[in-house]
């Protein structure tokens, strides 16, 4: 509901232009796996992006004002989480527990209102807007592709980069050789300064593998990552890579001496950072929401999945007044459609979805196509067997050389990406995770197809021409 509530309603209370509508489908399959499909109106994304890009022609003043407001909300959001870390929800009264939920929910919503505007930088169509913008401002055709590579390279660490950089710094301080992980783990436990550092790392990043669920990572988990790092003959310094990217980018922009181009590249970088931190705030909220809803559910006689079906305006009625219909909550989990507007949102569930919504209206018209077009994010050609993955933590069999097909990649997809011969996504932009990681790995990648997960299924054989941005069934 975050995209519907904060990404549309709250956003429109604050900004014009803003994203004016969104569509959300939730359905639970017979396998008990829940699928979620969220759609923006692409015209809204273009409207918001064009507003900022036009503003960048004169200066960065409009964008910087917007960005500073997001920073204040993001800082307040993280401060609310830090305070909540010390709270035991089991000992709170009903009113205190509800107050904690309300505080954390709106702290998250506040930063998400700006954070979802960053989705205006997503790719829609067969050309990436930023690549096109850069191309229009570089006269020498022979240098365009190299310029695009330099100007879209990451310079700001993602939240997973921050965790990796912190662990790399700790790994460089450790000297010694250990044949097995248990030996290494005992060494850490017996060495006070390293054990203290590891515990602090786990306390800061226990949430880093959360998605739309909560998973608490322990010292042992991070010790296993540390063990792999200290056994590597050479550890690449991610912080150094990002710094090098920043230096190369600044040098090129200085040579080009084009203020509008410099402003738009900066705008795109910061929007990518906002997208990343919006996701980070959401997955950290998932941790607290699970704790709070589990406790609320115990007190009112609902299981966690039923509590997850309660939307924000209803929580007080369900929890404080004990006024709810369990059958309706179960129905929502099976099938729900939410239409978000500037005035609020409408929720349909169960059979009412069929009465008021035609799901085919939201399916791409060429969803049976044998030829799929997207944006070439990392060049190259590959053939292989499709593996459709919706959840990176439950990917099913995935062999080296398979073609990874998913909606969009996030850090937990990296182990699969390293095995893949090519990557295809529905969403994305030239500066988003799939594009950046695929270029780092040298893997062909086509992003922004919008229909790949509907057209392709596990077992299909495809040819990926990521130089032209085309995927073809063979």
Whether the CB-CB separation of 442 and 132 falls below 8 Å is answered with no
Q: Is the pLDDT of residue 179 over 70?
A: yes
Cα of 386 vs its chain's centroid, Å: 22
Q: What is the mean pLDDT of residues 299-323?
A: 94
Tell me what pLDDT residue 306 has: 93
Confidence (pTM)? 0.88
pLDDT: is 39 or 424 the higher one? 424
Whether the CB-CB separation of 384 and 401 falls below 8 Å is answered with yes
Tokens representing residue 384 in the block? 């292989």
Q: Is the pLDDT of residue 429 over 90?
A: no
d(CA 203, CA 342): 39
Whether the CB-CB separation of 194 and 284 falls below 8 Å is answered with no
Q: Is the pLDDT of residue 366 over 60?
A: no
Tell me what pLDDT residue 145 has: 85
Considering all CA atoms of the chain, what is the largest pairwise distance in Å, rounded to the nearest integer?
68
Tell me what pLDDT residue 382 has: 94
Q: What is the mean pLDDT of residues 98-110?
A: 96
How large a percentage of the chain has pLDDT more than 70? 96
d(CA 100, CA 291): 11
Our CA angle for 451, 452, 453, nearest 5°, is 95
Our CA angle for 37, 40, 46, nearest 5°, is 150
Q: Residue 423: which of 323, 394, 392 has the closest Cα?
A: 392
Read off the pLDDT of residues 76-89 as tens digits, 9 standing for 90 and up.
999 999 999 999 99
d(CA 241, CA 375): 25
Return the DSSP state at 246. H
Read off the pLDDT of residues 394-412 as tens digits, 9 standing for 90 and up.
778 899 999 999 988 877 7
Per-residue burial over 189-218, b if 16 or more Cβ lie within 10 Å, else e, is eeeeebbebbeebbeebbbbbbbeebbebe
Question: Where does the pLDDT of residue 130 fall: very low under 50, low under 70, confident under 90, or very high at 90 and above?
Answer: very high
Read off the pLDDT of residues 220-258 as tens digits, 9 standing for 90 and up.
999 999 999 998 766 567 889 899 999 999 999 999 999
Q: Residue 103: which of 124, 122, 82 has the closest Cα?
A: 82
Angle formed by the axes of helices 42-58 and 259-300, nearest 10°: 140
Question: Where does the pLDDT of residue 14 fall: very low under 50, low under 70, confident under 90, or very high at 90 and above?
Answer: very high
d(CA 387, CA 419): 11
How large a percentage of the chain has pLDDT more than 90? 64
Out of 95-99, 113-117, 193-197, 360-364, which region has the weakest mean confidence (pLDDT)?
A: 360-364
Whether the CB-CB separation of 368 and 451 falls below 8 Å is answered with no
Tell me what pLDDT residue 390 has: 81
Tokens representing residue 333 in the block? 């989990």
Q: What is the mean pLDDT of residues 259-265?
A: 97
Tell me what pLDDT residue 379 has: 87
Q: Is the N-terminal amide bond of 418 cis, ω within 30° of 0?
A: no
CA within 13 Å, CB half, 169: 11
Out of 106-115, 229-238, 252-261, 348-357, which region has the weakest mean confidence (pLDDT)?
A: 229-238
Q: Are strands 422-425 and 403-406 parallel, antiparallel or unpaired?
A: parallel
Q: What residues contact residue 110 under an 8 Å CB cut-off, 6+ apart?
A: 6, 10, 73, 76, 77
């Amino acid at each position: 509901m975050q995209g519907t509530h904060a990404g549309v309603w709250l956003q429109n209370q604050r900004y014009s232009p803003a994203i004016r509508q969104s569509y959300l489908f939730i359905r639970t399959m017979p396998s008990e796996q829940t699928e979620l499909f969220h759609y923006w109106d692409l015209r809204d994304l273009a409207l918001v992006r064009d507003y900022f890009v036009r503003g960048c022609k004169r200066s960065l003043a409009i964008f910087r004002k917007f960005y500073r407001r997001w920073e204040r909300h993001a800082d307040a959001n993280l401060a609310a989480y830090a305070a909540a870390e010390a709270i035991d929800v089991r000992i709170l009264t009903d009113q205190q527990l509800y107050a904690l939920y309300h505080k954390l929910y709106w702290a998250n919503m506040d930063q998400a209102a700006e954070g979802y505007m960053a989705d205006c930088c997503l790719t829609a169509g067969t050309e990436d807007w930023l690549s096109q913008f850069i191309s229009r401002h570089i006269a020498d055709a022979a240098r365009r592709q190299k310029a695009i590579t330099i100007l879209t390279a990451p310079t700001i660490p993602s939240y997973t980069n921050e965790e990796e950089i912190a662990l790399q710094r700790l790994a460089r301080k450790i000297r010694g050789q250990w044949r097995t992980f248990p030996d290494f783990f005992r060494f850490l436990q017996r060495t006070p300064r390293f054990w203290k550092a590891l515990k602090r790392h786990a306390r800061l990043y226990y949430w880093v593998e959360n998605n739309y669920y909560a998973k608490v990572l322990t010292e042992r988990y991070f010790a296993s990552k540390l063990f792999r790092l200290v056994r590597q003959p050479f550890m690449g310094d991610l912080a150094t890579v990002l710094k090098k990217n920043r230096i190369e980018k600044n040098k090129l922009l200085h040579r080009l001496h084009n203020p509008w181009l410099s402003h738009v590249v900066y705008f795109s970088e910061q929007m990518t950072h906002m997208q990343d931190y919006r996701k980070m705030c959401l997955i950290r909220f998932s941790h607290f929401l699970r704790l709070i809803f589990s406790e609320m559910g115990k007190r009112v006689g609902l299981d966690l999945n039923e509590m997850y079906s309660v939307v924000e305006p209803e929580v007080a009625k369900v929890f404080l007044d004990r006024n709810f219909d369990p059958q309706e909550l179960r129905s929502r989990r099976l099938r729900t459609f939410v239409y978000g507007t500037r005035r609020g949102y409408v929720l349909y569930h169960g059979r009412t979805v069929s009465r008021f919504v035609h799901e085919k209206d939201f399916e791409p018209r060429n969803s049976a196509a044998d030829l799929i077009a997207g944006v070439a994010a990392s060049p190259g050609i590959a053939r292989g067997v499709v593996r459709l993955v919706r959840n990176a933590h439950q990917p099913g069999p995935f062999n080296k050389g398979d073609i990874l097909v998913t909606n969009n990649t996030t850090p937990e997809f990296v182990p699969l990406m390293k095995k893949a011969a090519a990557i295809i996504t529905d969403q994305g932009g030239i500066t988003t995770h799939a594009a950046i990681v695929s270029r780092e790995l040298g893997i062909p990648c086509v992003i922004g197809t919008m229909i790949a997960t509907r057209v392709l299924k596990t077992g299909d054989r495809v040819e990926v021409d990521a130089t032209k941005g085309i995927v073809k069934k063979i």
